[in-house]
């Protein structure tokens, strides 16, 4: 599927609207990462955001949980 200018503009406008809405609902969150996850099997484009706090919680879980052996020296 080729993305033409009109489709690109529609997708961009959608994500801008959704992002603005989300940020207005969560004004105290600070994000360090934003990603678009394009899934060919579901034909979906998903927006991903991450905060430093969420990253640190996930890292702690990985380092001390089922993936701990990957972090051991």
Q: What total number of domains does the chain contain? A: 1
**Range(s) of the domain holding residue 61:** 5-70
Whether residue 35 has pLDDT greater than 80: yes
Predicted pLDDT at 61: 93
Predicted pLDDT at 45: 87
| DSSP letters spanning 25-53 | H-TT--EEEEEEEEETTTTEEEEEEEEHH
pLDDT band at 1 (very low <50, low <70, confident <90, very high): low
Predicted pLDDT at 43: 87
* pLDDT, average across residues 63-67: 92
Rounded Cα gap, residues 40 and 70, in angstroms: 30
Task: Give Cβ neighbours of residue 11 (< 8 Å, ≥ 6 apart).
Answer: 3, 45
User: How many Cα neighbours within 13 Å face the side chain of 40?
Assistant: 1
What pTM was estimated for this model as a whole? 0.62
Predicted pLDDT at 7: 86
């Amino acid at each position: 599927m080729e993305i033409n200018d009109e489709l690109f503009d529609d997708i961009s406008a959608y994500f801008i609207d959704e992002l603005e809405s989300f940020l207005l609902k969560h004004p105290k969150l600070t994000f360090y990462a934003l990603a678009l996850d394009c899934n060919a099997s579901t034909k979906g484009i998903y927006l991903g955001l991450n905060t430093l706090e969420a990253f640190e919680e996930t890292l702690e879980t990985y380092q001390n949980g089922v993936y701990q052996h990957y972090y051991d020296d």
